[in-house]
Amino acid sequence: MVVYLDNNASTRPLVSVVEAMGPFFRAEYANPSSPHRLGQRVRYEVECAREKVAQLVNAASGEIIFTSGGTESINLAVRGALGAQPVKRHLITSAVEHSSVRRLVERLAREGYRVDEVAVDHEGRLDLAMLEDRITEDTALVSVIHANNETGVLTDARRVCEIAARHGVQVHLDTVQSVGKVPIDVKELPVDLLSLSAHKLHGPKGVGALYVRKRTRLTPVTFGGRQERDLRPGTENVPAIVGFGVAAAEAMHLRPEVIGSIRRLRDAFEARVLAAIPIAHVIGGGAERVCNTSNIGFERLQAEAILILLSERGICASAGAACSSGSLEPSHVLKAMGVNPRIAHGAIRFSLSRFTTADEIDRTIDVLREVIERLSTAVG
């Protein structure tokens, strides 16, 4: 029995997504920019998918730009916003961003931009007073993660947007891990830019989107054709875009009771682990989180050893972010939260989905208890 609890890394595509993509590998293979009938049929399906993705965040379809995924969406949002305001050279982000933001702002700092990282508290919540204090007349953009990919802790997006708006500063939210898990309505939330990724909500890999609020100016970061409002040139990945549209429509109609069920399963999992394993500590559990994410640190143990033994028994989890796995150091997220290194070194991320069952949680707890007992005995 394989139990997949690594849904923050990637989710299982829905059957309806895979089925919808099939024709665009076979009969409907034309270029959507072509003027003939076959090309325009494909164009129609791309625009239908755009409408579905837009509806997921209550945007207009013309505000959605398709990209290759969350990373490209983030790069286009940040570089595009800065490029449209060349006089301003200041960017604010947080200490717990995904690597796609962290590595980008490191590069921007080398290019002469001034970057401020806003701290978080011990639960991973953004220091909003510090955010407002860091904004200056030179600030071009505030870019923060909405739901942290390691802990699931949610940023108070409304407060961030309100603070930035008081100073006339644009806001980009990385909503890759939150879209489809918490309601996002851009008509209610005064955000300028949102990055999304299909494979985090049961869609295909290799496709994402950037929401660009009407009248928000961006400069392109790649050049070529005239696709995607001149902001993302290149022939569209039609099968993946169609699949993204189906996944977005399914996520939009996901019943609140399903989200509640995932949350209850996650909460029960944490409670049982804490009861069964005295050295277990839930990280970020005191903050508001997305429904599916649990980061648990096992004191005095190493995450890599835990993951190897879990994998051998068919349990798939991860140590923090998948793109930083292999490191023996605690992640920058846990360091920023001030997590005790004795706990942070043994931090494991378990992320559920709508497909996770109670039987799978039972199996995981049984295996996890055995693994932790074995490793605890080995370290004395």
CA pair distance 275, 284, nearest whole angstrom: 18
Is residue 195 within 8 Å of residue 174, measured between CB atoms? yes
Q: For 118, list phi and psi in degrees, rounded to 5.
A: -85, 135
End-to-end Cα, the chain, rounded Å: 31
Taking the CA atoms of 36, 37, 42 and 47 in sequence, report the sign of the dihedral they define: positive
Contacts of 130 (CB under 8 A, 6+ apart): 118, 119
Is residue 320 within 8 Å of residue 277, measured between CB atoms? no
Catalytic residues: 323
Report residue 27 as tokens. 């009969």
CA pair distance 56, 53, nearest whole angstrom: 5
Contacts of 109 (CB under 8 A, 6+ apart): 115
Q: Is 238 helix (H, G, I), strand (E, B) or coil?
A: helix
How far lies 270's CA from each of 136, 264, 362, in Å?
Answer: 42, 10, 12
CA pair distance 25, 343, nearest whole angstrom: 48
- Vertex 106 angle, CA 101 and 111, to 5°: 120
Long-range Cβ pairs for the range 210-215 (8 Å, 24+): 210/64, 210/65, 210/67, 210/73, 210/76, 210/77, 211/54, 211/57, 211/59, 211/63, 211/64, 211/65, 211/186, 212/63, 212/64, 212/65, 212/77, 213/63, 213/186, 214/60, 214/62, 214/63
Q: Which helix (H) or strand (E) holds 108?
A: helix 99-110
Strands 114-118 and 139-145: unpaired
